[in-house]
Chains A and B, each alone.
Chain A
Amino acid sequence: MQIFPRHLNLLPLVIAGAATVGGGVLTGAIWYYASPANLQVGYAPEQPVPYSHRLHAGEMELDCRYCHANVERSHEAMIPPTQTCMGCHTQVHPESQRLAAVRESFETGESVEWVRVHQVPDHVFFDHSVHLAAGVGCVTCHGRVDQMEVVQVDQPLSMGWCLDCHRDPGPNLRPRNEITNMDWAPDENWVAHVDEVNPPTHCSGCHR
């Protein structure tokens, strides 16, 4: 007695085909969608104070290090303390409604709760100071911050992206005194001294 129709004999073939195609599609989908390039780039959270990098760093040409003062000495680029803001804003727009949160922070001593934009995984020990010392500019990783009204993630900051440069740092190096220059482009006289940089590509270079 037949309890299954004859065409069910095709089932193993169908399953095998579906598993092969499905596995490929799934891998491709994860490759594309589950990547920082897809998930992170363009992330631009709203901040408690509508601070404009375009205005400060772009139009007024403040050096990055005026606010991110320890970036050449520390792991962290450092979010400036409220006092840095108030250094100017006791004189410039002292009554502006947009600066209310800054003045409140200055009076109470409570920090402004800025939202972190660029975040690498916990097990990555990224160090700003060594990258600047090697001659990697701000713009290489952070993009044209001087043109951003709201700061957003410009590069994937993924391991593959880091390694691209660690394996071939030459194209991303510039003279030490041009690090914060967002417009710098190499001229014919520029020679990157790659052999002096020697970035690590082993695991414990970044993971400790």
Chain B
Amino acid sequence: MSDDTPIYEIGETYLLPQGTTVHDITEAVARVTETKAPRGWWICFLPSVSLLGLMTAVIAYLLAMGIGVWGNNAPAYWGWDITNFVWWIGIGHAGTLISAILFLFRQKWRTSINRFAEAMTVMAVLCAAMFPALHTGRPWFDYYLFPIPNQMDMWPNFKSPLMWDVFAVNTYLTISVIFWFVGLIPDFATLRDRSETMLRRRIYGFLALGWRGSHRGWQHYERAYLIFAGISTPLVLSVHSVVSFDFATSVIPGWHTTIFPPYFVAGAVFSGFALVMTMMLIVRAVFGMHNLVNIRHLDLMNKFMLGTSMIVGYAYAMEFFIAWYSGNPYEQWVFLHNRAGFAQLDSLGNWGPLWWSYWAMISCNVLVPQIFWFKKCRTSIPIMFVATILINIGMWFERFVIIVTSLTQDFLPSSWGNFHPTFIDVGLYLGTFGLFLTLFLLFVRWIPMIAIAELKATLPGAHPNLHHHHGEEHDHAHASAEPAPAE
């Protein structure tokens, strides 16, 4: 555990403010689940549940009427549904990146945000899965998607990337849930041990799986956590790569591109970080977690967004370059006319009808994050709050642009068309926010939202060779150096 020692030569300090004790951390996190919800929680919860109600109503109507109530129609066979699917599944990637990859790279600052981000992964994947499930049109036959023996000779076509998607998303959901739960076990034990009523004690005790905080327990636990981090790491890269294959393996201009897998993965991490940030800023304010998630964490996350934004920006530029360099007129038409809207006008002298969505994407995803070059912007809460929301709008437009501008004007001008969303499209998208936020707020209220045990390990007191360092920084650090939870 000595590898998270700050490097004093470059001015680093410990992650948490001086004088924070292990008990402070337990108190700050566990108290949220033990006291009445603050008013801010209710202010968020009621609109969320209303949106969830809207989603239920919209889905009931959709099931009764069929998916003709969406705006999808020839030639735009995919519309908001697949846009929303890709967007939500992308959101989840920040959680896996933070919990798995940053863990393997020993980035200790992740401990303040990983629990949070992992919960968002699970909930985002649930929201995402709903769209393709409904898009099949007859969701009660969705079991056809799985290789279940049956008398009809119905069997998945393993050559189809859509099939790979089913397995990628299901694997992702399963692993994310298990990894999340494994991380929670010691913290559930902390809540159990603090419980004042028998009911709470039993519920948290059940979830803690008999955790005692013994050395042997910790040893197994650390090993299991490392293994799950190892299993999750390739998923960060593979899931969105497979999603991108849905597009890249087809021959539609604007989709048939080898850059898609890395481009999609970078975009997913980019948008995931942005949503984690948005939610974190709200929860931090509502529950007063300013010490545990402090400006240094936010600064690091903003740097991450700047980095992924540059990768995404590079991909946008490279798509354009290849469209020009390939000399393929269809590819050029999609990029220069349909997306960018300059350079090539159609026979009526019009730009592509959706040029504005392309430029919304460029502004939000490439231009806005450039402010994070400046430390002033990286450390200003209002600025980063607005920026993260803009980034998520931009990332939604990215998927919309890819799907709709390619499908609506492909090789054959006689089959060109446009896409118009209906109220049901909009209602379902807003409704999934209801599902996401409701689950998220319940999580924040009843489950330790910050990894108590892991965060304690970043305290100076957790350092075996603490006294070899120089200086006054450690005067406060005589707080107990015991392992972690069970108080």
Binding site for B on A (CB under 8 A): 3-4, 9, 27, 30-32, 34-37, 156, 158-160, 163, 203
Shortest distance from the beta carbon of A121 to any chain B beta carbon, whole Å: 10
Q: Given A3-B201, A30-B148, 10 more contacts at CB 8 Å?
A: A3-B198, A4-B205, A4-B210, A30-B150, A31-B149, A31-B150, A35-B152, A158-B152, A159-B152, A160-B153
**Could you tell me if B202 and A3 are in contact, using CB atoms closer than 8 angstroms?**
yes
> B152, B205, B206, B210: which has the most chain A beta carbons within 10 Å?
B152
Q: How far is the CA of A37 from the CA of B202 in the complex (A)?
A: 49
- Which residues from A are CB-within-8-Å of B150? 30-31, 34-35, 160
Residues of A within 8 A of B381 (CB): none
With contacts A3-B201, A3-B205, A4-B206 known, is A35 near B151, CB below 8 A? yes
Q: Does B154 contact A (CB under 8 A)?
A: yes
Q: Are B201 and A27 in contact (CB under 8 A)?
A: no
Across the interface, do B149 and A27 meet the contact criterion of CB distance under 8 Å? yes
Task: Check if B151 sits within 8 Å of A160, measured CB to CB.
Answer: yes
Pairs across A and B, CB under 8 Å, 20 listed: A3-B198, A3-B201, A3-B202, A4-B202, A27-B148, A27-B149, A30-B143, A30-B148, A30-B150, A32-B151, A35-B150, A36-B151, A37-B151, A158-B151, A158-B152, A158-B153, A159-B152, A159-B154, A160-B153, A163-B153
Q: Which residue of A lies closest to B206 (CB)?
A: A4
CB distance from A29 to the nearest CB of B (A): 11
CB-nearest residue of chain A relative to B192? A3
Q: How far is the CA of A160 from the CA of B154 in the complex (A)?
A: 7
Q: Which residues of A contact B143 (CB under 8 A)?
A: 30
Question: Which residue on chain A has the smallest CB distance to residue B149?
Answer: A31
- Chain B contact residue count (CB 8 A cutoff): 15
> Which chain A residues border B206 with CB–CB below 8 Å?
4
A160 vs B155: C-alpha distance when bound (angstroms): 10
Contacts of A35 in B (CB 8 A): 150-152
Is the pair B149, A160 in contact by a Cβ cutoff of 8 Å?
A: no
Query: In the complex, are the beta carbons of A159 and B202 less than 8 A apart?
Result: no
Q: Collect the chain B residues with CB atoms within 8 Å of residue A156's CB.
A: 151
Nearest first, the 7 closest Cβ-Cβ pairs linking A and B are A160-B153, A35-B151, A158-B152, A159-B152, A160-B152, A3-B205, A163-B153
Q: How far is the CA of A34 from the CA of B141 in the complex (A)?
A: 11
Alpha-carbon gap, A31 to B153, bound state (A): 10
Determine the chain B residues whose CB is within 8 A of the CB of A36 once the complex forms. Answer: 151-152
Secondary structure at chain A's binding surface: helix, strand, loop or mixed?
helix
Contacts of B198 in A (CB 8 A): 3
What is B's interface to A at a CB cutoff of 8 Å?
143, 148-154, 157, 198, 201-202, 205-206, 210
Residue of A nearest to B201 (CB): A3
B185, chain A: closest CB distance, angstroms: 13
B176 → chain A closest CB, angstroms: 19
Q: For residue B205, which residues in chain A have a CB less than 8 angstroms away from its CB? A: 3-4
Q: How far is the CB of B19 from chain A (nearest CB, A)?
A: 33
Alpha-carbon gap, A31 to B143, bound state (A): 12
Query: CB-nearest residue of chain B relative to A167?
Result: B153
B204 to chain A: closest CB distance in Å?
Answer: 10
CB of B124 to closest CB in A, whole Å: 26
Given the complex of chains A and B, what is the CA–CA distance between A203 and B163 in angstroms?
A: 15
CA gap between A30 and B202 in the complex, in Å: 37
CB A151 to nearest CB in B, in angstroms, measures 23
A8 to chain B, nearest CB (A): 9
The answer to whether residues A159 and B153 also contact, given A3-B201, A3-B202, A3-B205 and a CB cut-off of 8 A, is: yes
A177 nearest CB across to chain B (Å): 32
- Residues of chain B within 8 A (CB-CB) of A4 are 202, 205-206, 210
Within the complex, the shortest CB–CB distance from A141 to chain B, in Å, comes to 16
Assembled-state Cα–Cα distance A9/B209 (Å): 9
CB-defined contacts of B151 to chain A, threshold 8 Å: 31-32, 35-37, 156, 158, 160
Give chain B nearest CB distance to A28 CB in angstroms.
9
Residue of A nearest to B205 (CB): A3
A80 to chain B, nearest CB (A): 32
A162 (CB) vs chain B CBs: closest residue: B153
For A27, what are the chain B residues with a Cβ–Cβ distance below 8 Å? 148-149
- Nearest A residue to B209 via CB reads A12
CB distance from A16 to the nearest CB of B (A): 14
Residue of A nearest to B148 (CB): A27
Assembly CA distance A27 to B143 (angstroms): 11
CB contacts (< 8 Å) of A30 on chain B: these are 143, 148, 150
Residues of chain A lying within 8 A (CB to CB) of residue B149: 27, 31
Among A9, A30, A156: residue with most chain B CB under 10 A: A30
Q: How far is the CA of A138 from the CA of B154 in the complex (A)?
A: 26
Q: Which residue of chain A is the closest to B141 with respect to CB atoms?
A: A121
CB-defined contacts of A37 to chain B, threshold 8 Å: 151
> In whole angstroms, what is the CA distance A167 to B210 when docked?
57
A198→B70 CA distance, assembly (Å): 40
| Nearest CB in chain A to that of B204: its residue | A3
CA distance A3 to B195 in the complex (A): 12
The residue in chain A whose Cβ has the minimal distance to the Cβ of B150 is A31
Complex-state Cα separation, A199 to B200, whole angstroms: 65
Q: How far is the CB of B453 from chain A (nearest CB, A)?
A: 21
In the complex formed, the residue of B with least CB distance to A34 is: B150
Name the residue of chain A whose CB is nearest to the CB of B151.
A35
> Chain A residues near B154 (CB, 8 Å)?
159-160
* Residues of B contacting A34 in the complex (Cβ-Cβ under 8 angstroms): 150
Q: How far is the CB of B160 from chain A (nearest CB, A)?
A: 10
Inter-chain CA distance A176–B149, complex, in Å, is 37
Set of chain B residues within 8 Å of A158, measured between Cβ atoms: 151-153
Q: How far is the CA of A158 from the CA of B152 in the complex (A)?
A: 6
> Whole-angstrom distance from the CB of A90 to the nearest CB of chain B?
45
Give B57 Cβ to nearest chain A Cβ, in Å: 27
Q: CA separation between A181 and B97, bound complex, in Å?
A: 69
Min C-beta distance of B158 to chain A, whole Å: 13
